[in-house]
Structure 1
Amino acid sequence: MPAKNSFSIRSAQSSALALFAGLLLSACAGTSTGSSAINPVNWITPYKIDVIQGNFVSSEQVALLKAGMTRPQVKEVLGTPLITSIFHADRWDYVFTFKRQGVQSQSYRYSVFFKGDRLESFSGDDMPSESEFITRLDNQRKLGKVPALQATPEQLKAAEAQRGAKPAVQAAPLAAPAGAQAATYPPLERPAQ
């Protein structure tokens, strides 16, 4: 009898293996049909990092722009433009994209136009403020408890009392040993002759 049981276990294992292989093959074959909900291969997705590209321009920076500014002044306010073209020397483009897994990608574009060396006009997307943009970056991950960054009046009083109880140790300036001469170094360049 023991020989018959080992044969039936092997038969069950091989049929289970064949069934599993058939499921895998059908999953691979189903990738081209567009049935991604049924396909177990699509259930597992790799981690995709956040991709931030370009120069972020905030609404506060745009508010500082005034017609008649020079190119260096505009560069100081908005930063170095992402796109400059020799064919359009009087136009600077600032492009910013932000892509995150599971969230619709964000894209902003702003252009400034010059006449000669002076800013003539500027236009583009409605830019978010810096605080609005930071709230969009928040990915809702809670990595740990963040301590309060401001001391309460009680904590300040306790710190003052502790500081008063222990006098701060003042280090005396280092003095050269007695009889030591000041160090002299040769010049870095040869004297001109």
Structure 2
Amino acid sequence: MRLLPASLPLLALLGGCSLMPHWDSLPAITGEKVLGVLTPYRLEVVQGNVLTKEMVARVKPGMPKAQVRDLLGSPLLTDVFHEARWDYVFTIRRQGAPAQQRLVVAMFDGDKLKSIDVPDDLPTENEFVASVNTFKPSAKEPKLALSQAEREALPPPKQSAEAAPTAAAEGPAPGRVYPPLDAAPAKAGS
């Protein structure tokens, strides 16, 4: 009997453990959603130089390092132990678009470009812009310009006899007189 009062708090403590939720039963972050509902903001991370097919096509073997730097920009990685190699690394992580990573390697022989190693998936400028564009136009946006065919289909504007004469035909408004713009200012004391 003496053990019963001492063991009651221990039994209550152990029994309370089964009432606590288990960590594996809590909702988790899956994919892009938290709790299956919320999409958290993800910071856009861009590192390195954006290189496109058009930019790399301008670089030719035999060019000096300064000219390659002018055309492609400064490399993200240069190594004092491998001065003949420049690594142009580019990564971008943008919410709503797939992550991208590319590596272009320029090899030099002294001060002259020996070769340039370009990945097969290097995009053109238009392909790159399309790949990072996360703007999805909605159907509710108004059309802001007419096509040439739509302009030609418009009826000509109506000319009416009661149309008010233009302000240029009447002259300046009564009571307003402005000096000519090309007149030189008068000198004081003349």
Using structure 2 for the length normalisation, give the TM-score.
0.59
What is the aligned residue count?
145
Cα RMSD for the two superposed structures: 3.9
Structure 1: any 5+ residue segments left out of the alignment? 1-21, 159-164, 181-193
Q: Structure 1: how far apart are the matches of 2:108 and 2:146?
A: 45
1:147 maps to a residue whose letter is L
What's the counterpart of residue 126 of structure 2? 131
1:27/1:41 contact within 8 Å kept: no
Pairwise CA distance, 1:35? 9.0
What's the counterpart of residue 144 of structure 2? 147
Structure 2: any 5+ residue segments left out of the alignment? 1-18, 158-165, 169-179
Q: Structure 1: how far apart are the matches of 2:167 and 2:83?
A: 66
What's the counterpart of residue 178 of structure 1? 187
CA pair 70-129 structure 1, distance change in 2 beyond 3 A: same
1:91/1:112 contact within 8 Å kept: yes
Give 2:115's match in structure 1, choosing from 110, 121, 130: 121
What's the counterpart of residue 45 of structure 1? 39
SS in 2 for 1:95: strand
2:96/2:134 contact within 8 Å kept: no
In the TM superposition, what are the counterparts of 1:39-118 in structure 2 within 5 Å?
41-118=35-112
CA pair 172-91 structure 1, distance change in 2 beyond 3 A: farther
CA pair 148-109 structure 1, distance change in 2 beyond 3 A: farther
SS in 2 for 1:104: coil
Post-superposition CA distance 1:1-42 (Å, at most 9, x none): xxxxxxxxxxxxxxxxxxxxx8xx73855359x7959xx735
Q: Structure 2: how far apart are the matches of 1:30 and 1:172?
A: 81
SS in 2 for 1:90: strand
Q: Structure 2: how far apart are the matches of 1:135 and 1:89?
A: 35
Q: Structure 1: how far apart are the matches of 2:143 and 2:81?
A: 51
CA pair 146-63 structure 1, distance change in 2 beyond 3 A: farther
CA pair 177-146 structure 1, distance change in 2 beyond 3 A: farther
Post-superposition CA distance 1:149-169 (Å, at most 9, x none): 9878769xx9xxxxxx887xx
SS in 2 for 1:62: helix
Pairwise CA distance, 1:48? 1.6
